[in-house]
């Protein structure tokens, strides 16, 4: 299948290398070798295998892949996703995948001190953080700024980049993708292609600036049992979860389960569940407008007072004080 959008406008006999799809689960075209992809997972969780290890990702989360990516999704639970396919030529005609992979647009890295041994991604981070000055080619020629957007999207040292989303970042990405969906489907006037290009640039800027980073999903796991249990934690966060129910759910004995967790994350299974619930609580207290009692229930605590006691043990603050501090900072 050609992942393109054909013009429906009178007098515009053309197509662009952009394709949008929203569905339950993941798109069947994620292994396409001719396009870049931006995927927003709005609901659910999934596990990705990376060199014999496992990464668990829980919504809201986004990931970006280039044409070389080998994405191995080994399990998913309740996933709803939006996928944007595009060729980098949507930014500039000369931005073919072959040209981008050739290194001809890497001149902005020349601003780094001679002899400094850094990966492409480390160089990019130094540029984004303002640790070095851009050279003349970067400041005078817009082409290198456009190339920088794409370098951040998928640098030479990575084919897949995962981004945990705050509520605000999730809303922003949903708006951009929703706007692209509208332009693709409705094509309301002759400027629809220009607007799609603009929305893609906005998404790429967020990826370069790393605005989507959060504290939650950086762990890589080696034991598939641990991954399955943690995925179960996130999927059933608001429910009562006991050690006995876990042993029955996964047909495993207590010693094997706790030994696996101790080896993988340095604590017993139920202690890790408490950590997961507190991570969810911190995120909701910081980024949502939910009440403390609502957050308590969503995190699996029917007793708000007990929830507050556990939260203070982990953070040194009551939920109300933590929420106030975060709102003041924002």
pLDDT digits (tens, 9 = 90+) for 212-231: 444 345 578 899 999 999 99
Q: What is the pLDDT of residue 119?
A: 55
Name the residue range of residue 163's domain: 5-91+150-209
How far from 22 is each of 56, 122, 153, CA to CA, in Å?
A: 22, 33, 21
Query: Inter-axis angle of helices 254-265 and 224-235, to 10 degrees?
Result: 90
Q: Answer yes or no: is 215 within a domain.
A: no
The closest of 84, 107, 321, 130 to 311, measured between CA atoms, is: 321
Cβ distance 196 to 183 under 8 Å?
A: yes
182 & 43 share domain: yes
Q: Answer yes or no: is 18 within a domain.
A: yes
Per DSSP, 212 falls in state T
115: pLDDT strictly greater than 80: no
Q: How confident is the model at residue 170 (pLDDT cuts 50, 70, 90)?
A: confident
123 & 138 share domain: yes
Give CA–CA dist 54/66, Å, rounded. Answer: 20
157 & 45 share domain: yes
Split into its structural domains, the chain has a count of 3
Give CA–CA dist 61/158, Å, rounded. Answer: 18
Q: Answer yes or no: is 216 within a domain.
A: no
For the record, the structure tokens of 3 come out as 């992942």
Report for 217-226, 284-293, 304-313: range of highest mean pLDDT: 304-313
208: pLDDT strictly greater than 70: no
Q: What is the pLDDT of residue 149?
A: 81
197 & 248 share domain: no
Q: Answer yes or no: is 218 within a domain.
A: no
Q: What is the pTM of this model?
A: 0.75
Cβ distance 121 to 157 under 8 Å?
A: yes
Helix, coil or strand: residue 53? strand
Task: Using the 3D structure, point to which of 185, 209, 233 is the last residue of a domain.
Answer: 209
User: How confident is the model over 3-18, as a mean pLDDT?
Assistant: 93
């Amino acid at each position: 299948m050609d992942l393109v959008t054909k013009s429906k406008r009178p007098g515009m006999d053309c197509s662009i290398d952009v394709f949008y799809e929203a569905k339950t689960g993941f798109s069947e075209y994620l292994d396409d070798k001719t396009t870049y992809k931006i995927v927003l997972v709005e609901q659910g969780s999934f596990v990705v295998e990376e060199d014999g290890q496992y990464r668990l990702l829980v919504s809201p989360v986004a990931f970006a892949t280039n044409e070389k990516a080998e994405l191995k999704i080994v399990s998913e639970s309740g996933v709803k996703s939006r996928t944007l396919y595009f060729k980098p030529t949507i930014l500039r005609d000369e931005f073919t995948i072959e040209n981008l992979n050739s290194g001809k647009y890497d001149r902005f890295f020349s601003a780094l001190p001679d002899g400094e041994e850094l990966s492409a991604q480390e160089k990019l981070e130094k540029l984004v953080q303002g640790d070095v000055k851009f050279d003349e080619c970067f400041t005078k020629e817009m082409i290198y700024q456009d190339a920088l957007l794409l370098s951040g999207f998928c640098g030479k040292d990575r084919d897949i980049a995962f981004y945990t989303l705050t509520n605000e970042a999730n809303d922003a990405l949903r708006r951009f993708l929703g706007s692209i969906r509208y332009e693709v489907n409705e094509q309301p006037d002759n400027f629809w292609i220009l607007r799609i290009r603009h929305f893609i640039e906005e998404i790429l800027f967020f990826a370069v600036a790393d605005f989507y980073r959060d504290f939650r999903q950086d762990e890589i796991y080696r034991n598939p049992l641990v991954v399955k249990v943690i995925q179960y934690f996130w999927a059933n966060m608001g429910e009562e979860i006991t050690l006995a129910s876990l042993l029955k759910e996964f047909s495993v004995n207590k010693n094997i389960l706790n030994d696996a967790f101790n080896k993988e994350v340095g604590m017993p299974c139920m202690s890790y569940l408490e950590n997961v619930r507190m991570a969810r609580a911190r995120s909701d207290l910081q980024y949502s407008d939910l009440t403390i009692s609502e957050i308590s229930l969503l995190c699996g605590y029917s007793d708000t007072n007990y929830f507050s006691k556990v939260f203070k043990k982990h953070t040194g603050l009551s939920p109300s004080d933590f929420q106030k501090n975060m709102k003041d900072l924002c």
